[in-house]
Structure 1
Amino acid sequence: MANDNQWSRVNRNQNLYDNHPATEPPTLPPNNGGPKKPKKRRSWRRILLTVFLWLLTLGFIGTLAGAAVFFTYANEAPNITESDLASENSSAIYDNQGNPIWKLSTVQRDYANSNEIPKTLKEAVVSIEDRRFYKHGGVDPIRIAGAALANIEGSSLGMQGGSTLTQQLVKLSVFSTSTADQTLKRKAQEAWLALRVEKNFSKDEILTFYMNKVYMGHGVSGMKTAAEYFYGKPLTALSLPQLALLAGMPQSPTNYDPYLKDTSAAKDRRDTVLQAMVKYGAITQKQANDAMKVPISDGLQDITAKTQLANESRKTVDGYVQSVLAEASAMGFDTSKPGLKIYTNLDSDLQQKMYDLANGSSVAFPSQNTQIGATMTDPNNGEVVAQISGRNQQILFGTNHANLTGRSSGSSIKPLLDYGPAIEYLNWPTYRTVEDKKYKYPGTSHDVTDWDGKYMDNITMRTALTQSRNIPAVHTLEAVGGQNAAKFMSGLGIQLNKIPGGQDAIGMPLSTVQEAGAFGAIANGGTYYKPTYISKIVTADGTTHNYSVSGKRAMKTSTAFMLTDMMKGVIKPNATAADAIIPGLHQAGKSGLVGFGDGEQMPDRAIKDAWFTGFTKSYTLSVWTGYDDNSLGYIPWTSQDLPAQYYQKVMSYAMQNKPNTDWKMPDTVTPKIDGNIVEYEVKDAKWDNGGLPTVTSVSQSGESPSEAGIPAGAASVGSTSGNN
């Protein structure tokens, strides 16, 4: 029966489905006969559960989205290296003893290693900046939450309050510190890089990086540099209140400046640091109270006097530093980058002496506006040991008169352009006859004149040089030829832009650096060394680049010796540089004067440029004096020996502890005695006296046989093998 009923129900349902399309469900007949069931009311628990699930879902989605954004920003974060974190020292220039003479950076920084930083200072920094520093991994959620709460409550902590010390280091190392740049993207990148820094460096390394990186005001970065600047002491010598002041300054160096008239902000900040140290457990409350009683000014240096001294020190080496920077740039170094250590050939003692003489009263400069340029070298290697760029200069990096090449050298050119080539290429002896008679420049109607308007007729080359006669110099350059003269100058490091001739014989534009280098070659026996300032450069990565100049033969030893011997006579009582005399010193040199043209409306014998370049076997010193603007003045005839006077005082000082050795005659030179003067000629060389009569050099223009160490029975000029 049951089966019959079952099948009857199936059949009935089958009939029902057969009577409707397959695409739509069948519609059952309405049940109008039975009672309706009441609807159930949803419980509040179910509603809350639904809301919670939705919020959880949204939170999960938000977390995923936030993570995606974070890692997108993190992926775009810049690289951060140890060199970024480890603040490099300011680039600096050092003298030849390794003493610093100039900081190149606008911000001063001397890097402190961890062992140079006292534990108390480390605790002070951690106490005030990041008490959980040793507990977090670079980002501190608890600190972030605290900062967020402070923001809501209107605290002054702000967004930066959530940054750990590691994040602050990252910001100082690779990001801008501007508040406007603190975007969500930047904060995400800071956090990411902070995690990386913590992974790669120890806590002590991170703290050391930070303490060297922070800006402390007054153009000073790093707490070690600040200790030296403010207190003149290393960090290890500072007291607790002094260390607390330094620890608190990075937050606002300007407001917490201890040199302000009102130091209440600095004191409040220092005391806040001390209380933070108590809370951190670094010091006791009694220690903090005692430290709070100490005045902020305790131990501070007088920075006004310090700044004045620093500025004066900078003026002393200003010109030399200009030359150093130019040389470093030519070597391919970017001196604007930090971490360079440039070691120079500067003798600070000589530099100071030259500066004091140029700016003091012991040398009688005609006026305050009279300028000077001077370069001193070691002729045996070309090292520039001192250089003066000017006097009474009010600005740094002004005109370096030592390097200017626009001023005529006057007669100081004669040994280089005229008589040197005559000995080198024509084998002229020191007693070769030259004419000092009325003469016009070749191809012109202009007379060659001398300062006295007179003529000495036939004279020796020695006399012509020691008395600085112009007409013989012009004749000599003609005899040598412009090509040979230019070749000789090139060997001395002076490249001429034309073939010299005519008036060039008595003056061409040169600098004191060029003359010091050229005369240095004569002083050392004929080898030219380019004047150089830098001995080595150590780059930020610790690589050392050493520099020295290889000398090249510029002239024969015979030429150098004979030029030197003739120029000894320039520094004689009756010669043109008597004011350069240093009794007993073996030295030689040449003066040079440049007058004004007829149309320049200057007094008779007014001097535009005055030169003297002299040398010993230890030093060469080239000096120029004149005016930047001749409307401000001129050198009167009575002051023509001004550069020789300056030279005399500098060289007297420089040679105090140097051997006073004379030049030794090479075996390629033969001495000849004429009267009481020892003359020299190139051994076994042929030369032409130009059909002129043999004459004798003027008295005292050379050494006597006894002064030269020549035996009394030596040959006379008349027995020479040359063509007289």
Structure 2
Amino acid sequence: MPNNDQPTRRSRQNSEEDFDETQSGGGLVKKIILAIVGVVILLIVAGAALFFYYASSAPKVSQSELASQNGTTIYDNQNRVISRLGLQKREYVKSDQVPETLKHAVVSIEDRRFYKHHGVDPIRIMGAATANIFGHSSGMQGGSTLTQQLVKLSVFSTAASDRTFKRKAQEAWLAINVERHFSKNQILDFYINKVYMGNGVYGMQTAAQYYYGKDLNQLSLSQQALLAGMPQSPTYYNPLASDTQAATQRRNEVLNAMVRSKYITQAQADKAAQESITADLDPKHGNTSNGDVNVNEKVIDAYVKEVLADLQQKGYNPYNDGLQVHTNIDLDAQKHLYNAANNTVSFQSDKMQTGVAVTDPHNGQVVAMLGGRKLGNTIYGLNRAVQTNRSSGSTAKPIMDYGPAIEYLQWPTFKSVSDTKFYYPGTNTAVHDFDNKYKGTMTMRAALVQSRNVPAIRTLQDVGIKRATTFLKGLGISQKKPYNLQNAIGLYISPLQISAAYAAFANGGTYYEPYYISSITTQDGNVKRYSPNGHRAMNKATAYMMTDMLKGVFTDSQGSGTAAHISGVNQAGKTGTTNYPGGNQSGVMDSWMAGYTKNYSIAVWTGYDQPQSASPISDTYTDSAQWLYKDEMEYLDSQNHASNWRMPDTVEAVRVNGKRQLVIKDSKWALQYAAIDDDDYDNSSSSSSESHSSSLRDSIVTSGSVFSNNDHNDQQSGRNDTGASNSNNNNGDNNSGANNAPTPGKATGNGGAVGGAVPTTGGTGAH
């Protein structure tokens, strides 16, 4: 009988096959696991090799670097120190002068395993990584130890671009080495004396004096907890801020961290948390004083403010990175400008303000800048040189109207333009000048020098908004809303933008983006240099022809900028004024002067910060902008005299009606006239024959109201508006009978759409 318990040949064969499949499957899994382990080991080895490779190139760190207080130093273009962040007196506090409570507070909030690790804390790194991945981080601690933070503050930049694996590897390596050579107490002392504490203050001892007028060992538990928590975000946790909620919350986080670390009891924390965050603050900032910089910070305030903003935009932290920043400021020119605005030039009152920007047409470097005048102790306040909420008035005409007309339509300087009755399309809103007159047909040169509004608007119509927008964009000027016809006589742009735009006329057509910083040197010796960023914005012919016409603003006996004329200086420019919107108040609201030589471009705004609550600028003080411009340009040209411009070979001079004019070579207008020898004419005064009126006010009149853009003080120059506007045909550019009385139209301010909406903001020439 067969034994049923014995496997048959078939069953044995099937079992063997199943066993082989199991063995095969298990072998595959084992191979996969071994492969993964191998890859992991390989990655670890490769990572370790890369780590040590990067570590081998790490910079050295000395005790002096660890102990130094690393404020950023700012230099002028002659390598002279003009500012140090943290000008207060810095007090280095020794370990025995630092309260144990403060040390415990710092360790609790910044690195609670500080006394256990050796510079790098793997547990802390893994914890921070896990918290970041799963979103459980409270924001109280990151992966860097106190020692790593000290190394970063002493050697490296905190710029976002420097947060690389290489930098982290070097930072970790140096932290390990620092721990080998210095005790925990020494490291903690270095950190407490180095960190930035807001308001230009470095080190917690200096901060104790600045905020409370006390030494560290005199502070309460609450005050020490606040100081310990501030380095994470000094500005946000500033107890002097108008809103101290963030500072209070941070102080309480530190107290709770100290409880968790068993340095204080919950009762002690609760009692300290009851103390007001503003208790015992010292408004006199204790025993702090200015540092060793011999430059009055008020003189350079606006410039330094923009430098700091630029540094932060580039990813640096000027308060922690210990940078050496070389700028393009000409300190002597800056001092001269400050003195002129505050002491030399006359203004209507101390409340009358100004914003000034000076750029170098060769490269876009910002040479000098003034954010205001008579500012008292205000530091890093409103910089009026970069504000864009005031209309530029008729300084817009060269860049919005006539420049594009030459560039795209090839208009000659003698192109006929019409100063006749004009209504904004689709409306009954009429546009006039201050004299409530129209002057008929005149040349483009005459219209620009006299700053007539209607010809400017008609020119923009011929050019087209699209092409004018393109021209402006090439000069670094743009806005979100589409431009309209009213922008022909005013743009919302800053003095810095106007200075940079006019600089393109000065240098033959290249627009350079204005910039403040020439180089940045970080603590590890890395140098980042900055070069001009320019592009061609217009043809050489356009730049030269505009310059030739704009000379007449200064040299024409009727010119609007004669108050800024400087004998022997080759300059060109444009004035501009605006009036109050809606005709609610008569008089001038803003007054501008923008001009340039081949070496400098200056734009000046003057007015009141709150024009609606201030008296209008009188006729006399509309010239304050010109006086300030003249004072600064006269100084600059005396230091670096500019030669006259040379006519490019794409332009030729022609005689039209017995007068010198310019035309683009080979254009349809050039073929109608014979070229003349330009050397036979004095270019500096060639436009004088183009004046047609004794009054040159850039004004717009609507519905019988005068919105005067007083480009020049006629009373000061001995001119009389009455009857003077009838002398329209002195030079043959005006048609007889051109002074027709305007038909009253709907009242308009400035800024209204072409479609007929009545604007409510802005002044004459503003959109």
1:145 is matched with none
Deviations 1:110-164 (A, max 9, x none): 99xxxxxxxxxxxxx9xx989xxxxxxxxxxxxxxxxxxxxxxxxxx9996xxxx
Aligned residue among 624, 628, 631 for 1:642 = 624
**How far, CA to CA, are the matches of 1:496 and 1:310 in structure 2?**
40
**How far, CA to CA, are the matches of 2:340 and 2:177 in structure 1?**
55
**How far, CA to CA, are the matches of 2:679 and 2:119 in structure 1?**
86
**How far, CA to CA, are the matches of 1:456 and 1:321 in structure 2?**
48
Going from structure 1 to structure 2, the CA distance change for 1:110 and 1:660 (only over 3 Å counts) comes to: farther
Aligned residue among 379, 388, 395 for 1:396 = 379
2:597 is matched with 616
Going from structure 1 to structure 2, the CA distance change for 1:219 and 1:547 (only over 3 Å counts) comes to: closer
Deviation, structure 1 residue 640 = 1.9
Question: Secondary structure at 1:569's aligned position in 2?
Answer: helix
Aligned residue among 535, 554, 573 for 1:589 = 573
Question: Secondary structure at 1:374's aligned position in 2?
Answer: strand
Residue pairs, 1:572-721, within 5 angstroms = 572=555, 573-600=557-584, 602-603=585-586, 606-630=587-611, 631-674=613-656, 677-686=659-668, 705-708=680-683
2:45 is matched with none
Going from structure 1 to structure 2, the CA distance change for 1:541 and 1:687 (only over 3 Å counts) comes to: same
Residue pairs, 1:473-552, within 5 angstroms = 473-552=456-535
Going from structure 1 to structure 2, the CA distance change for 1:640 and 1:522 (only over 3 Å counts) comes to: same
Contact 1:363 1:646 (8 Å CA) reproduced: yes
Going from structure 1 to structure 2, the CA distance change for 1:687 and 1:216 (only over 3 Å counts) comes to: closer
**How far, CA to CA, are the matches of 2:452 and 2:360 in structure 1?**
30
Contact 1:108 1:221 (8 Å CA) reproduced: no
1:329 is matched with 312
2:222 is matched with none
**How far, CA to CA, are the matches of 1:532 and 1:159 in structure 2?**
46
Question: Secondary structure at 1:633's aligned position in 2?
Answer: coil
1:568 is matched with 551
Deviation, structure 1 residue 86 = 4.8
2:228 is matched with none
**How far, CA to CA, are the matches of 1:452 and 1:540 in structure 2?**
63
Going from structure 1 to structure 2, the CA distance change for 1:220 and 1:502 (only over 3 Å counts) comes to: closer
Contact 1:490 1:496 (8 Å CA) reproduced: no
Going from structure 1 to structure 2, the CA distance change for 1:201 and 1:610 (only over 3 Å counts) comes to: same
Residue pairs, 1:3-22, within 5 angstroms = none
1:340 is matched with 323
Deviation, structure 1 residue 687 = 5.1
RMSD: 4.4
2:352 equivalent to 1:370: yes
Aligned residue among 72, 75, 91 for 1:94 = 75
Question: Secondary structure at 1:376's aligned position in 2?
Answer: strand
Deviation, structure 1 residue 497 = 2.7
Q: Which amino acid aligns with 2:602?
A: L
Q: For structure 1, which runs of at least 5 residues remain unmatched after alignment?
A: 1-80, 112-124, 131-156, 161-167, 226-248, 255-302, 695-702, 712-724
2:448 equivalent to 1:465: yes
Q: Which amino acid aligns with 1:514?
A: Q
1:272 is matched with none
2:433 is matched with 450
Using CA pairs below 8 Å that are at least 6 residues apart, which structure has the higher relative contact order? 2
2:557 equivalent to 1:557: no
Q: For structure 2, which runs of at least 5 residues remain unmatched after alignment?
A: 1-59, 121-145, 148-174, 207-213, 220-285, 687-767
Q: Which amino acid aligns with 1:537?
A: I
2:336 is matched with 353
Q: Which amino acid aligns with 1:607?
A: V
Question: Secondary structure at 1:640's aligned position in 2?
Answer: helix
Deviations 1:214-259 (A, max 9, x none): 899998769xx9xxxxxxxxxxxxxxxxxxxxxxx999699xxxxx
Deviation, structure 1 residue 637 = 2.2
Q: Which amino acid aligns with 1:546?
A: R
**How far, CA to CA, are the matches of 2:218 and 2:635 in structure 1?**
46
Q: Which amino acid aligns with 1:480?
A: V
Judge which range, 523-532 or 637-646, deviates more: 637-646
Q: Which amino acid aligns with 2:606?
A: T
2:368 is matched with 386
Deviations 1:286-315 (A, max 9, x none): xxxxxxxxxxxxxxxxx9997499798111
Deviations 1:478-509 (A, max 9, x none): 01011110011011111133443321111111
**How far, CA to CA, are the matches of 1:387 and 1:91 in structure 2?**
21
Going from structure 1 to structure 2, the CA distance change for 1:688 and 1:405 (only over 3 Å counts) comes to: farther
**How far, CA to CA, are the matches of 1:216 and 1:530 in structure 2?**
32
Deviation, structure 1 residue 367 = 0.9
**How far, CA to CA, are the matches of 2:439 and 2:193 in structure 1?**
74
Q: Which amino acid aligns with 1:685?
A: S
**How far, CA to CA, are the matches of 1:640 and 1:98 in structure 2?**
38
Q: Which amino acid aligns with 1:457?
A: G
Deviations 1:171-205 (A, max 9, x none): 98xx7569x999997666799999976874499xx
**How far, CA to CA, are the matches of 1:342 and 1:424 in structure 2?**
39
1:319 is matched with 302
- Tell me the TM-score normalised to structure 1 length: 0.60
Deviation, structure 1 residue 107 = 6.2
**How far, CA to CA, are the matches of 2:389 and 2:401 in structure 1?**
20
Going from structure 1 to structure 2, the CA distance change for 1:304 and 1:431 (only over 3 Å counts) comes to: farther
Deviation, structure 1 residue 399 = 1.0
Contact 1:108 1:219 (8 Å CA) reproduced: no
- Tell me the TM-score normalised to structure 2 length: 0.57
Deviations 1:27-82 (A, max 9, x none): xxxxxxxxxxxxxxxxxxxxxxxxxxxxxxxxxxxxxxxxxxxxxxxxxxxxxx94
Contact 1:486 1:496 (8 Å CA) reproduced: no
Going from structure 1 to structure 2, the CA distance change for 1:705 and 1:252 (only over 3 Å counts) comes to: farther
Judge which range, 81-90 or 586-595, deviates more: 81-90
Deviation, structure 1 residue 639 = 2.0
Question: Secondary structure at 1:582's aligned position in 2?
Answer: coil
Contact 2:414 2:661 (8 Å CA) reproduced: yes
Going from structure 1 to structure 2, the CA distance change for 1:667 and 1:219 (only over 3 Å counts) comes to: closer
Going from structure 1 to structure 2, the CA distance change for 1:110 and 1:376 (only over 3 Å counts) comes to: farther
Deviation, structure 1 residue 358 = 1.1
**How far, CA to CA, are the matches of 1:673 and 1:629 in structure 2?**
49
Question: Secondary structure at 1:583's aligned position in 2?
Answer: coil
Deviation, structure 1 residue 597 = 2.9
**How far, CA to CA, are the matches of 1:477 and 1:568 in structure 2?**
22
Q: Which amino acid aligns with 2:563?
A: D
Going from structure 1 to structure 2, the CA distance change for 1:129 and 1:326 (only over 3 Å counts) comes to: closer
**How far, CA to CA, are the matches of 2:85 and 2:178 in structure 1?**
32
